[in-house]
Amino acid sequence: MTTDFLSLPELKNKLGALLNYLYPNADTDALTQQCLEAIGPRINRAIVPPEQLWSEQDALLITYGNSIRSPNEKPLDTLEQFLHKHLQDTFSAVHVLPFFPHSSDGGFAVIDYTQVDAELGEWDDIETLGQDFKLMGDLVINHVSSQSGWFRNYQYGKDPGRDYFVEASPHYDLSMVVRPRTSPLLRAVETNEGVKHVWCTFSHDQIDVDFRNPKVLLEYLKIIGLYLDKGVQWLRLDAVAFLWKEIGTPCIHLPQTHEVIKLLRLLMEYKNAHAILISETNVPNRENLTYFGNSNEAHMIYNFSLPPLVIHALLSGNGQYLKGWLMSMPPSPVGCAYLNFTASHDGIGLRPAEGLLSDEELETFLKTLQSFGGRISSRTGQNGESKPYEANISLFDAFKGTYQGTDRWQEARLLCSQIIMLALEGIPAFYIHTLFATPNDLDKLEATQHNRSINRTNWHKGELETLLADPETPQHRIFNALQRLIRIRCAQPAFHPNATQFTLHLQPEVFGFWRQSLRRTQSIFCLNNLSDRPQEISLTNINLISTENWRDLISGEAVTDLYGTLTLAPYQCVWLTNYEKKV
């Protein structure tokens, strides 16, 4: 039996309260009705219990629509064929990075939210992917391309767009504004009314929209309604932390931003009870956690501190910072989950490591990544100083060696990082180039002069499949190993995204934690050697229950002496369990 998520009167009351806070001068009743009309007719009214929004069987693949290319094929067709051939039994969800017409920033300067980039395919291709996978799409909500119709209309004083953008005088004191870039915040533009200065948080091709205008909110609700109708079930709010602007504030994490997210979640769940809202907030850990709200904002938040900390642990051979972070992390609230990742289309965010890594550790970390071919991108601090913002490098090449230099353990370190991610509380997300052990793309970096291009390779399908079929290549070994590990993980109840997690206290070279299934039928002890030397662990320190049989899910080996010693080879990981569901 199914019931509505909220009755219409209840929904209107909740919406009205949020809208009255955001737009106190508006006609709240009329604006509430406009919001409902903008999101469009309902798709799915069935209540989904929080524990059933996701499960241990969920794993997400992150990819551009053209990460794999084949002559005379639409890239989205090529992607679909590759997924069906190789990965349909591995991943439940696919995040296709911005697939709209765009002018820059790898798709994140959107020209038209309602169209699919003709060079990739069309809406039918997106809908087909949404039939076979939980499909995740991007709502680039903070800004639009300077080539968009809205911005052209702004320049000509026409609707829609005439009053959609944030203006500010260059004489204002904007020193408090938090920036992720070093470019000037304001851009001078010619309009029918003369020169005006518009707000550009990210680049001068990405013009910030003004959510203080309720018409902008309604435009984005229409876009969300379209995405949901086209099969996009998971929605990623790009750069949402910067959404609301108030002169004299840092213009990040403002209360109004959180209220907008609450409103979006209400309307998304009203339209489709299976819809999931994900916040993308590349900020220090404490700030990131606020986007769960009171289980009424984002369903998922990116675990942004995980990439720098797990990479640091494997480069240094010491997990003290990673362990300290994990011990401080609260369980995700009811109806919420962490989205775990170690690599993405962007770089390794450094702000999420603030307060977690010391300045000395961060300096050594960045110098090591640079020695492996990485680049460092910067941002402007509140006092105008330049600060490291992200490290740009492929994850495979980030593990070329350690602080001592390059060595022979590159593949083992990469696999260790992914095994850690797979086992942690939350839903694992894999950037497609991690699966392929893609090295730094120095040719693309040189061609574009954009640091992020180093990790945005476009593989030719024939070349890639040749490498994947050859047992002598790292591409074959990593691809097959990760597929196997993901399938093992997805069969274990103790790896449910909300299953219990406790940190284990072991030597610094071993990062360990314990997971227990929601029904307490399965325990898994996750032990990971972060170093290039064997590590011995006394099993009495782990307290395996003596009346049960224990086995390592990864190697298949049984534990025969519960009071003995377990020796982990360099970068070896084990998942010791008292229960095994066959894959």
pLDDT per residue as tens digits for the range 93-149: 999 999 999 999 999 999 999 999 999 999 999 999 999 999 999 999 999 999 999
Measured CA to CA in angstroms, residue 217 lies from 135, 202, 263 at distances of 23, 20, 10
- Residue 4 domain flag: no
Domain boundary among 495, 512, 536: 495
Cβ atoms of 145 and 104 within 8 Å: the answer is: yes
Vertex 450: Cα angle to 447 and 451 (nearest 5)? 115
Cβ atoms of 408 and 430 within 8 Å: the answer is: no
- Residue 39 domain flag: no
What gap in Å lies between CA 445 and CA 443, rounded to an integer? 5
Beta carbons within 8 Å of 18's beta carbon, 6+ residues apart: 259, 262, 263, 266
Residue 86 is assigned to a ligand binding site: no
Buried b / exposed e over 229-246, threshold 16 CB at 10 Å, is: ebbbbbbbbbbbbbbbbe
Domain boundary among 442, 461, 495: 495
289 shares a domain with 247: yes
Q: Chain centroid to CA 581: how far?
A: 29
Q: How many residues does the chain have?
A: 583
Amino acid letter for position 532: D
CATH number at residue 106: 3.20.20.80
DSSP string computed for 512-543: EEEEE-TTS--EEEEEEE-SSS-EEEEGGGTT
Phi, psi (deg, nearest 5) at residue 36: -65, -40
**351: pLDDT strictly greater than 70:** yes
330 shares a domain with 382: yes
412 shares a domain with 477: yes
Helix (H) / strand (E) containing 143 = strand 143-145
Boundaries of domain holding 524? 500-577
Residue 83 is assigned to a ligand binding site: no
Cβ atoms of 444 and 54 within 8 Å: the answer is: no
Pick the catalytic residue: 125, 205, 238, 441? Answer: 238
- Residue 10 domain flag: no
Q: What is the percent of the chain with per-residue pLDDT over 90, rounded to a whole number? A: 92
DSSP string computed for 426-451: SEEEEEHHHHTT----HHHHHHH--G
The pLDDT of residue 48 is: 78
Cβ atoms of 238 and 278 within 8 Å: the answer is: no
Torsion of CA 366, 367, 372, 373, to 10 degrees: 80
The pLDDT of residue 89 is: 94
Q: Binning pLDDT at 50, 70 and 90, where does residue 583 land?
A: very low
Helix (H) / strand (E) containing 191 = strand 186-191
pTM over 0.85: yes
Catalytic status, residue 238: yes
Cβ atoms of 562 and 546 within 8 Å: the answer is: yes
**Which residue stretches of 230-291 are H helix?**
255-271, 285-289
The pLDDT of residue 2 is: 36
Residue 236 is assigned to a ligand binding site: yes
Q: Binning pLDDT at 50, 70 and 90, where does residue 151 land?
A: very high
The predicted model gives 233-242 an average pLDDT of 97
Cβ atoms of 529 and 416 within 8 Å: the answer is: yes
Beta carbons within 8 Å of 466's beta carbon, 6+ residues apart: none
The predicted model gives 472-493 an average pLDDT of 98
233 shares a domain with 176: no
From the list 80, 134, 140, 65, the residue with the least C-alpha distance to 110 is 140
380 shares a domain with 249: yes
Domain boundary among 444, 465, 495: 495
From the list 420, 428, 417, 427, the residue with the least C-alpha distance to 326 is 420
411 shares a domain with 276: yes
- Residue 484 domain flag: yes
* The pair of three-digit structure tokens given for residue 415, joined into one six-digit string: 């696999």
The pLDDT of residue 1 is: 28
CATH number at residue 511: 2.60.40.1180
The pLDDT of residue 387 is: 87
Other beta carbons within 10 Å of 254:
17
- Residue 321 domain flag: yes
Phi, psi (deg, nearest 5) at residue 565: -120, 135
* The pair of three-digit structure tokens given for residue 180, joined into one six-digit string: 């992720």
Tally the domains of the chain.
Answer: 3
368 shares a domain with 441: yes
Residue 407 is assigned to a ligand binding site: no
The pLDDT of residue 386 is: 82
Residue 217 is assigned to a ligand binding site: no
- Residue 341 domain flag: yes
1-5, 56-60, 218-222, 339-343: least confident range: 1-5
411 shares a domain with 372: yes
423 shares a domain with 339: yes
533 shares a domain with 386: no
What gap in Å lies between CA 482 and CA 469, rounded to an integer? 15
56 shares a domain with 194: no
The pLDDT of residue 580 is: 57
What gap in Å lies between CA 205 and CA 202, rounded to an integer? 8
The pLDDT of residue 44 is: 80
Q: Which residue has the tokens 């064997």?
A: 534
The predicted model gives 207-223 an average pLDDT of 98
CATH number at residue 152: 3.90.400.10
Query: Side-chain half-sphere of 106: how many Cα atoms within 13 Å?
Result: 27
Other beta carbons within 10 Å of 1:
4
Side by side, the strands of the sheet bearing 348-349 are: 348-349, 386-392, 375-380
DSSP character at residue 213: S
- Residue 286 domain flag: yes
Q: Which residue has the tokens 């962007």?
A: 346
**3: pLDDT strictly greater than 60:** no
323 shares a domain with 268: yes
What gap in Å lies between CA 187 and CA 182, rounded to an integer? 13
Q: Binning pLDDT at 50, 70 and 90, where does residue 546 land?
A: confident
Measured CA to CA in angstroms, residue 440 lies from 316, 362, 404, 410, 481 at distances of 21, 21, 20, 14, 21
- Residue 13 domain flag: no
Strands 535-538 and 565-568: antiparallel
Residue 496 is assigned to a ligand binding site: no
From the list 262, 304, 311, the residue with the least C-alpha distance to 281 is 304
The overall average pLDDT reported for the chain is: 95
